[in-house]
Every structure is written in C-alpha cells, then in structure tokens.
Amino acid sequence: MLSRKKFAIWFVSLAAALTLTACGGNDGDTGEDSASKEENTTNNESSGHSGDHSGMDHSGSGEVPEGIKEAENPKYEVGSKAFITEGHMEGMEGAEATIAGAYNTIVYTVSYTPTTGGKKVENHKWVVHEEIADAGEEPFKEGDEVTLNASHMKGMEGATAEIDSVQETTVYMVDFTTADGQEVKNHMWVTENELSPAE
C-alpha cells in the first residue's frame, strides 16, 4: 500500500514536472513572439508602416531579380557609405551602410497573407517591380492584386498581394551591422530617401 502511495506521488510529481517544463517551453516561445512583436512595433513606429518583419531574411545572396536596371548615376555610389534613416528591423535605423548595389525601378509596399499561413502582413517595404510575377513595362497601381516572386520573408514567394503604394526611385542593396552587432549582407531594399550621406 505504501509503495503504491509512493508510486502515485512520484507519478504526480513527474506529471507536474513535465507540465511545468512544457509550460516553460511555451513561455519561452511566447517570450520570443513577444520580443518579435515588440521589435516589430518598434520598427513599425520608426519606419511608419505595419509590416511584420520577424520572418525576414535580412541578408541576401546578392542575386538581384532579372531585368532590374543598375542606376547609372546614383546619389550613393556602389562602395560608398551612407546612414540608414529608416529601419525595417531592430538595430537598422542609424546604422552605417556600405552600398552594395544601386538600381532604378518602381518600388511597392504590399499587403499579403503568407503562403505558410499566419497573420496578414500589412504594408511590407519593399518589393521592386521585377519581383512581381508577370510584371510588364507599366507599373502596377494602388489596389492591384499581384503575385509575389520575392522571397525576403518566409511565405512571401507565391503569395497574392495587394499594392498599397507605388514609387519610382533608386533602390539600394546594402551591407550593415545592426546595433547589437549582427552583420547583414546584401539587404534588399532601402530606398534613396531612407539614406543620408555619411559625413
């Protein structure tokens, strides 16, 4: 009888420990989500949009979309330095960037639901004209529904998106180090008005 009681106490203790461990794991996940949400809130406030960039692949291969044209006389030449005045991720705003590429194109902010499921991403900055399926010579208009070929974030490629804004400008691919020391290479994209000259 005593051994059954000991076994029962042991079993309940084990179950409680496993439950607490599982909850602890969930709390960890929630903490990460909260941190991401807090980071995104910070980013959204600083960049003036509500895009969730927690799944964004900030570094890139350096391969640009087919058909995009290199800028002939960009304000910031390849190899030069500039400060990033708007951040799409935490630690980006104010960072000194090295210009890795400069291109003349149409850029869009877009809203879409990721193909992987989850919350709709609102006003994502930026997708260039050449990263949209079946893009012709003419720019898309606000409200147009398009299919994305960009893969800046998980679930972005192949997603149906709505064009929120349209802007013709020079966009830059940049290398920089975030405030917390994370090195980012070939980040796509930063627009010309999101940069300021390095002194």
- For the stretch 97-151, pLDDT in tens is 999 999 999 999 999 999 999 999 999 999 999 999 999 999 999 999 999 999 8
CB atoms within 10 A of CB 28: 10
CB atoms within 10 A of CB 9: 10
| SS3 assignment, position 45 | helix
Which comes out higher in pLDDT, residue 147 or 88?
Answer: 147
What confidence score (pLDDT) does residue 49 get? Answer: 39
Which of 160, 173, 59 has the alpha carbon at shortest distance from 111?
160
What confidence score (pLDDT) does residue 179 get? Answer: 86
What confidence score (pLDDT) does residue 4 get? Answer: 55
Residue 52 pLDDT > 50: no
Q: Compute the average pLDDT of residues 187-193.
A: 95
Residue 45 pLDDT > 60: no
Q: What are phi and psi of 32, to 5 degrees?
A: -65, -45
